[in-house]
């Protein structure tokens, strides 16, 4: 079998706002990225229930309809490859003072990591938060997601301490990372 070579001129990545018709693809992409990230030892009932309840198409339909939610979708050749979801007005006690917004999710399908898709989505998320009146954007990456934590630190996010993510009675350590958006250009 011949080896394939990378496309020397890959199709461009296009960013756009999410639309209600995106719920199905957002749901499936989110399930895939969540499982790739958090189900490192396989699937067990608690993880399966978490994914099926919080990453269902219905859950994404509801999130897309939430007036506090802002979305940026990354596409390539008409295929969804990543997205960022910002919740305006979401606060966390460990994040810096100011008008806060949460970067609830920034998910990039694995084949597209390392291609600046995450950076494009984060820049878009920061702009959306700033345009929505936020002066601070915060997120809570899992402590074992070293790649994500390093990504945010390289982009100016500071660690503000330990928090817990709880589902199915299980507590998982996350870190609160935040960035002041005063320097973000909303244009």
Residue 184 clears pLDDT 70, i.e. is over it: no
- Reported confidence tier of residue 5, pLDDT bands at 50, 70, 90: low
Q: Which residues contact 123 (CB under 8 A, 6 or more apart)?
A: none
CA–CA separation, 37 and 110 (whole Å): 10
Flag whether 64 is in a domain. Answer: yes
Flag whether 66 is in a domain. Answer: yes
SS (HEC) of 105-121: EEEECHHHCCCCHHHHH
Backbone angles phi, psi at 151, to 5 degrees: -55, -50
Q: Please tell me the predicted confidence (pLDDT) of residue 74.
A: 98
Residue 173 clears pLDDT 60, i.e. is over it: yes
Dmax (CA) for the chain in angstroms is 58
- Reported confidence tier of residue 170, pLDDT bands at 50, 70, 90: confident
Q: Please tell me the predicted confidence (pLDDT) of residue 169.
A: 80
Q: Please tell me the predicted confidence (pLDDT) of residue 7.
A: 63
Could you report the per-residue pLDDT of 107-149, keeping only the tens digit for each?
A: 999 999 999 999 999 999 999 999 999 999 999 999 999 999 9
Least confident of 25-34, 88-97, 175-184: 175-184
Flag whether 126 is in a domain. Answer: yes
Flag whether 10 is in a domain. Answer: no
Flag whether 3 is in a domain. Answer: no
Q: What's the total number of domains in the chain? A: 1
Flag whether 25 is in a domain. Answer: yes
Q: Where are the alpha helices (DSSP H) in 39-145?
A: 45-54, 57-65, 117-131
Residue 2 clears pLDDT 80, i.e. is over it: no
Flag whether 139 is in a domain. Answer: yes
Domain enclosing residue 59, as ranges: 15-180
Could you report the per-residue pLDDT of 24-35, keeping only the tens digit for each?
A: 999 999 999 999
User: Which CATH number fits the domain that encloses residue 125?
Assistant: 3.40.630.30
Flag whether 166 is in a domain. Answer: yes
Q: How many residues does the chain have?
A: 187
Residue 8 clears pLDDT 80, i.e. is over it: no
To which residue do tokens 């994040």 refer? 95
């Amino acid at each position: 079998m011949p080896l394939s070579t990378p496309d020397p001129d890959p199709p461009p990545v296009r960013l756009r706002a999410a639309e209600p018709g995106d719920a199905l693809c957002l749901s499936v992409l989110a399930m895939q990225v969540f499982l790739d990230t958090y189900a490192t030892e396989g699937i067990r009932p608690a993880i399966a229930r978490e994914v099926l309840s919080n990453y269902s198409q219905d859950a994404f339909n509801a999130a897309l309809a939430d007036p506090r939610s802002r979305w940026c979708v990354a596409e390539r050749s008409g295929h969804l490859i990543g997205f960022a979801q910002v919740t305006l007005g979401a606060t966390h006690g460990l994040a810096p003072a100011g008008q806060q917004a949460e970067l609830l999710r920034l998910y990039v399908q694995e084949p597209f990591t390392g291609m600046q898709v995450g950076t494009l989505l984060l820049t878009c998320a920061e702009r959306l938060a700033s345009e929505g009146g936020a002066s601070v954007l915060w997120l809570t990456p899992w402590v074992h997601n070293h790649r994500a934590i390093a990504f945010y630190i390289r982009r100016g996010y500071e660690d503000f301490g330990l928090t817990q993510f709880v589902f199915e009675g299980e507590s998982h350590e996350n870190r609160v990372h935040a960035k002041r958006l005063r320097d973000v250009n909303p244009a």
